[in-house]
Structure formats: C-alpha cells, structure tokens
A = this chain, B = another copy of it.
Amino acid sequence: MARRTPPDRRDSILSAAREIFAANGFAGARMEDVAKRVGISKATLYLQFADKQALFRELIDWLIETSLPDAFPLTLADASASERLAIFAQEAAGKLADDDVAFLPRLVIGESGNFPELAKAWHDVAVSRVLTLIEGLVQQGIDRGEFRAVDPYLAARSVAGPLVLGVLWNTIFAPVGAEPMSLAALARSHVDILLHGLLQGETA
C-alpha cells in the first residue's frame, strides 16, 4: 500500500509538510515531524528533497500550482460586467474557502522576510494574475459604458481587498475564537456595495 509509488509518496510528503509548515512556520517546523506525519523516516524525506529549504520551496510551488492555475477561466462569458464581477467574486470566494488554499497566504506572508523569492513567486504566479484579471474586468465595464471611469488598478484592489481580509480572518482569527466569516456572504454583500454604492439616493 505504500511501497513503490514515488509520485504519491512525494505528494503525501508535501501534504504533510503543508500542515507542519503552516502550523509552525519555516524555522519552527521540524523535519522529523513532517516525516512522522507521513509515517516515514527522516532519511526517506531526504530521498525526495535535498534539504529543508528545498522541501519548503517545492511546497510553496506545489501549493501555488495546485491552487491557482486553472483559476477563473470564466472571464470569457459575454454577460454584463456586473454579472461577471459577481460571478468572479463568488468563484473566488469558493476557492479561497478551501482550507488547502487558505493557509498559503499565511505561510508566504509569514516567511516573506526569510524567503523573498517565495513572495515574488506568489505575487507573479497568483496575486498579480488575479488582480490583473480584475482590472481587465473593470476596464471592460468602463469601456462598455457600464461602469464609471474609475481607476481600474485601484478598483481592482477595492474588489479583492475584502476577500483577502476574509481569508486572513478565517485563517488567523477564527482559530482563536473569532466568529468565522462566510466568504460567500461577504462576496455577495461586497459586490452589491461595489456596484451600487452605499449611498441611499444613488440607487435608482
């Protein structure tokens, strides 16, 4: 059941590493704990990963690959910008609610001081991409006369910000007693506010 399956073995190690690193950070994590969680010996770990840093780096890469790649191909739709924004937000909320993804931000944020490259990779591969996608969405809305002529760059941050906050909330504060937040509800409310504004008179 566990002899000759290099790919499985590798994934199971990465999976265990995710938990250990997520719980303790890079410096605080112990290789022995990772091994123990996989049910192998430390030495076997080193058969697959050159050292602790390699394991950590490949873990992050794996997480980024695993979680973001096929993200949001929905952009295609020829619905209205409003609808597409709403759909995007729902999809994003759904993805970010996945625990396998949610702790990546914490990990990368926490270790960005020690591993700047990881921050860069996460930025390039995931964050920047998503923000650019949102920018495009906003820009499209403006071009179609559907949205006001706001700054797409900043607007994209307005769109994404609350979701980031929500993810971190659930990752950081929920474990210490705060009420977990429904990303879906947050997304719905946020899109509503974004589109229609807070002001009373403004809504037709």
A interface residues (Cβ-Cβ under 8 A, vs B) = 22-28, 82, 85, 105-106, 108-114, 116-117, 119-120, 123, 127-128, 138, 141, 145-148, 150-151, 154-155, 157-158, 160-166, 168-169, 171-173, 175-178, 181, 185-186, 189-190, 192-204
Contacts and interface: CB of A to CB of B under 8 A. Distances in A.
A23 B199 contact: no
Most chain-B Cβ atoms within 10 A of its Cβ — which of A120, A145, A175, A176? A176
Given A119-B173, A138-B198, 10 more contacts: A24-B27, A25-B26, A82-B198, A85-B198, A127-B173, A150-B198, A154-B189, A157-B166, A158-B189, A195-B199
B23 A113 contact: yes
Nearest to A155: B193
Contact of A109 (B106, B147, B178, B196): B106
A202 B192 contact: no
B148 A199 contact: yes
Interface of A is mostly: helix
B203 A172 contact: no
Nearest to A21: B113
B108 A172 contact: yes
Contact of A114 (B24, B145, B157, B195): B24
A189 B157 CA distance: 10
Nearest to A189: B154
A173 B109 CA distance: 9
20 contacts: A25-B110, A28-B113, A106-B112, A108-B172, A112-B175, A120-B177, A146-B199, A148-B199, A150-B189, A154-B190, A157-B165, A157-B181, A158-B189, A158-B190, A162-B162, A164-B168, A196-B199, A196-B202, A197-B197, A197-B202
